[in-house]
Chains A and B, each alone.
Chain A
């Protein structure tokens, strides 16, 4: 049996069925991300003063990735418009850019993730002297990078130190901490640009807690990884579908061009939704 109304519109709704289907699915997706945004608001507003992590993500990279996703969204509609004019080659070209953008986005995101997995916070039993911008401060919470055995290790935590029997490590301290206000943090970053970092010699015996910027570091990073990973899965899923229609599924253009064009439209609607979610995620997670 054929699925009804895959190309011609259904007389009572005036649209083909797949379009109703994708919009119903997107409606459920709005609620899925809505629930997570709501959880984010509750967690953030309920966080005690000074415990919410901010300013730890790379804004230029995040901005660039936003451009990548917006570009992929416009190539989807341009590809679909080309199909409406019967220009299959032009469609192939535009959707190839879409797929490359999707891969680019995921590649950049992976790079960002990896960067977090080797960026640490250490809570010390006794305060040390580090720089915050151009000011010397005494603190027992320091951000930075571990140097051990000539390497910058990933995913270390307090237990790793004990299990590996590490007595101490070098710690390249960042000239800022997220407990500073956004304004102070930006100032500290700009005045210390290009200057050498303070390198601390940290003894394991003096470490209260050590954590990379992984979900268990803080509520902020738990929220960050949950939201961006779920969004990343959507990018991956969308890219796979668009790739299937573009590549192996493209023979339908010969047999049923109308249905094929509709498939492109429906996959595009999903893709725009993924772009739309990022439009909110980017300011909420990177900037605010």
Chain B
């Protein structure tokens, strides 16, 4: 685990070259996140006629940004199995929650429907 000569450099047995590579990735992701934010705001000024398109695209850009943060800043791209197991459960329940929310609109009693 810790066979580096530098006493403080062995936090994760990361060689300097490896860390330097990571730093490059971090800066690239940072740039991508800034660009994606500009895209989100710019799309908003376009005013698509379709509501589904507006919401869909906004959520898609947000999802891309969120995965960049999760994969690289939170280094989910290279984690141990234990973390993936925890996240698999979370994903399952989160999707379940959102699915229930959406399903509740499939059967609205006609007298209470607003649109």
Q: Which residues in A have some Cβ–Cβ distance to B below 8 Å?
A: 8-9, 13-15, 19-20, 23-24, 26-27, 30-31, 34-35, 37-38, 41-42, 45-49, 59, 63, 66-67, 70-71, 73-74, 76-78, 81, 83-86, 88, 182-183, 186, 253, 257-258, 261-262, 268-269, 272-273, 275-276, 279-280, 282-284, 287-288
Contacts and interface: CB of A to CB of B under 8 A. Distances in A.
Interface residues of B, number: 58
B94 A30 contact: yes
B26 A31 contact: no
Given A14-B82, A63-B37, A284-B62, 6 more contacts: A8-B1, A20-B82, A35-B97, A258-B2, A272-B74, A287-B44
Nearest to A182: B47
A32 B9 CA distance: 37
Contact of B83 (A19, A34, A76, A81): A19
B29 to A, nearest CB: 7
Interface string B1-22: 1100011111110101001001
Nearest to B29: A74
Contact of A27 (B1, B40, B89): B89
A276 B66 contact: yes
Query: Which residue, of A47, A284, A287, has the highest number of chain B Cβ atoms within 10 A?
Result: A287
B77 interface: no
A275 B74 CA distance: 11
A67 B89 CA distance: 31
Contact of A15 (B55, B69, B83): B83
Interface of B: 1-2, 6-12, 14, 16, 19, 22-23, 26-27, 29-30, 33-34, 37-38, 40-41, 44-45, 47, 54-55, 58-59, 61-62, 65-66, 69-70, 73-74, 80-83, 86-87, 89-90, 93-94, 97-98, 100-102, 104-105, 114-115
A186 B47 contact: yes
A73 B94 contact: no
B23 A262 contact: no
A272 B44 contact: no
Contacts of B90: 26-27, 30-31
Contacts of B73: 73-74, 76-77, 268, 272, 275
B41 A13 contact: no
Contact of A257 (B11, B74, B114): B11
Given A77-B26, A84-B9, A257-B7, A38 B97 contact: yes
A27 B26 contact: no
Contacts of B105: 45
A85 B9 contact: yes
